[in-house]
Chains A and B, each alone.
Chain A
Amino acid sequence: MRRYFGRKLLIYGLTFFVAVTVNWMIPRFMPGDPVASMVARANITQPAAVEAMRRYYSGLFGFDQPLWQQYLNFWAALFRGDFGLSIWLFPHPVSTVIGGAVPYTLALIVPSVLLSWVVGNRLGAYAARRKLLDNTVLPVGYVLTAMPYMWLAVLLAWALGVLAGVFPVAGGYSFSMRPNWSWTFLLDLLHHWTLPFLSLFLVALGGWAIGMRNMIIYELESDYSNYLAALGAPARLIRKYAFRNAVLPQITGLALQLGVLVAGALVTEIVFAYPGLGSLILKAIQNKDFFLLQGAFLFIVIGVLIANFIIDIVYVVVDPRTRAGMAGARA
């Protein structure tokens, strides 16, 4: 067990290391003088700000220092939680800007991923045993998964937002409001959250339902199911086993899909101008804000790695075979 998690941690550590290194390299190996072009593009008129920025960036890039020194400095800053200052929202530190966006992204991703997974699995399991349901779940599921995130988002925004006017189509909360802890504001938040959540939820739902349906059918035809049926076990018991065993590959699937889901969430945020990391990344690109971009990417990488690690742990808890394998099979 220790060795298993040790190995996993090592892999995650390596991934993180590579991600940070690539992140460090991007602005440095871009053609041209990044400092000059950044300051120029920042479109800042106050001379004091321009001077501060130039000094700040030169110091941070540290072009007078050897490369390895720059690299080490980058790591040191990272561990202090220092991602530099945003160019677009100068002089706010990148970490503050990201910190403001992360809650929105998490509030979208976590419920939509978990709920679509749970509901999709249930739906798929029912579909596997009811012909009528199967005939609807399967085609609807295929249409949903085949749909790009952006598409469904635009469709929903148009239908429920513009045509029906039930939900707002942009922003995290109404422009007329200031964030506070009142019920009206929370309701407003929820109102704005619904459409982006729904489009993420629906696209992912189809995939999980189809995957589960196929896995269950496969499990119901497996040898242990046949054996139980031959011994007259009721369908209830057989289906219980099948569901339990079919969920395992779905957990692995969740880990594999995580990157896609996050990417989908970022795109969806942009469609709905939802103030999360996705919109932030778009703004950072538009404003050539390297530091913000770096920070946002690092944050996403860390988030995905952590989520993967959690899934790993869950998998070990629910699949006895991995545990048995780790203990070394006793013959």
Chain B
Amino acid sequence: MSLRVSELKVYYRTLKGEVRALDGLSFGLADGEILGLVGESGCGKSTLGKSLIRLDGRMRHAGGTVVLDGEELPIADDRRMNDYRFHQVSLIPQYAMSALNPTRKIRRMVTELLRSRGVTLDTAELESRMSQVGLPREVLDRYPIELSGGMKQRMVMVVSTLLDPSLLIADEVTSALDVSTQKAVARALLGFRDSGYVKSMIFVTHDLALTHHIADTIMVMYAGRLAEKAPADVIVKAPRHPYTRLLLDSLPEVGVRHTDRRLTGIAGSPPSLLDPPAGCRFRDRCPIAGEECAEDPPVAEVAAGHYVACWKA
């Protein structure tokens, strides 16, 4: 197994107290697997992504482990973690549009970045990967401002995967793009996996329908925890968790693209993560909540590779 996350807890320090953005999350990811990560805004998707590569100054690793290719990642130790960044774990950030230094030509930026990591730039390889995502090589001699949004996105994709990382986190890479560009980006990511540029991938998105096209498995998160995880087809056709079902119901028809269809169709809002209530965190909004839900539902494997955290699943 390529990635194993166990009981991971990562909190944000704020003036009002700690925000438990990840509160005991466990899951695995196999070599070559693309995991689609979905859930409402604020459920902790980006927090998971950042936890796997770089905690920012306000994040605290409160417990749990991350094991990648048999090695435990020192996620709380910024200095030691540096060895793994880019080489083992890489990231296409949610803010890919503004991720490139605006005052450096792209070739120079990439060269300087690689040199700082002790790698010399293989221009031929870079250009071949660029052409694979439809970027002409002239792009290298431009400033980021001279690229369209989709081009910047693809450029960041190429840069992030240049050292063939074992794990790639792609955070909302398609959100800011139009439908046809979204498709192209999703296809490019699949191509990167198939060419072996990245071994496995966590594909974060709001968009269940798009995830279904590219992901092998889908993990649904709710309020900092796992709600359900299963092969993509199973999640879409036979979901067991009430939250997943509501998510799917809020899409008129799965498999059809809905421009900017956001997961907003569920009444109510998730609990505050500052001081989350005991018991099932979905209880307030769950149509079938019962007595037992006052206690935390454990994650159970209801079928092979199908995990659900619900008493009534």
Contact = CB atoms under 8 A, between A and B. Distances in A.
B86 A232 contact: yes
A218 interface: no
B91 A324 contact: no
Interface string A292-331: 0000000000000000000000000001110011000111
Nearest to A244: B103
A223 B95 contact: yes
Contact of A233 (B102, B116, B143): B116
Q: Is the interface of A mostly helix, strand, loop or mixed?
A: helix
B113 A231 contact: yes
Interface in A23-72: none
Contacts of A330: 142, 146
Interface residues of B, number: 35
Nearest to A330: B146
A292 B228 CA distance: 84
- For B101, B113, B159, the residue with the greatest tally of chain A CB atoms inside 10 Å of its CB is B101
B98 interface: yes
A254 B104 CA distance: 23
Interface string A235-253: 0110001001100100000
A25 B147 CA distance: 52
A260 interface: no
Given A232-B86, A248-B103, A222 B98 contact: yes
B160 A231 contact: yes
A228 B101 CA distance: 9
Contact of A227 (B56, B83, B99, B105): B99
Interface in B73-97: 82-87, 90-91, 93, 95
Contacts of A226: 56, 93, 95, 99
B116 A224 contact: no
Contacts of B129: none
B101 A245 contact: yes
B98 A231 contact: no
Nearest to A236: B116
Interface string B45-85: 00000100110100000000000000000000000001111
Contacts of A177: none
> Chain B: interface secondary structure?
loop
A241 B101 CA distance: 7
A248 to B, nearest CB: 7
A329 B104 CA distance: 16
A233 B113 contact: yes
Interface string B101-129: 11111000000110011000000000000
Contacts of B100: 224, 227
B148 interface: yes
A229 interface: yes
Contact of B143 (A230, A232, A244, A320): A320
Interface string B143-169: 101111000000010011000000000
Contacts of B53: 230
Nearest to B95: A223
A319 B143 CA distance: 11
B85 A231 contact: yes
A179 interface: no
Q: Most chain-B Cβ atoms within 10 A of its Cβ — which of A226, A231, A233?
A: A231
A226 B53 CA distance: 11
Contacts of B82: 232
Given A224-B102, A231-B85, A245-B103, A237 B93 contact: no
Given A224-B100, A233-B117, A321 B143 contact: yes
B93 A227 contact: yes
B99 A224 contact: yes
Contact of B85 (A230, A320, A329): A230
3 closest A-B pairs (Cβ-Cβ)? A232-B85, A227-B99, A223-B98
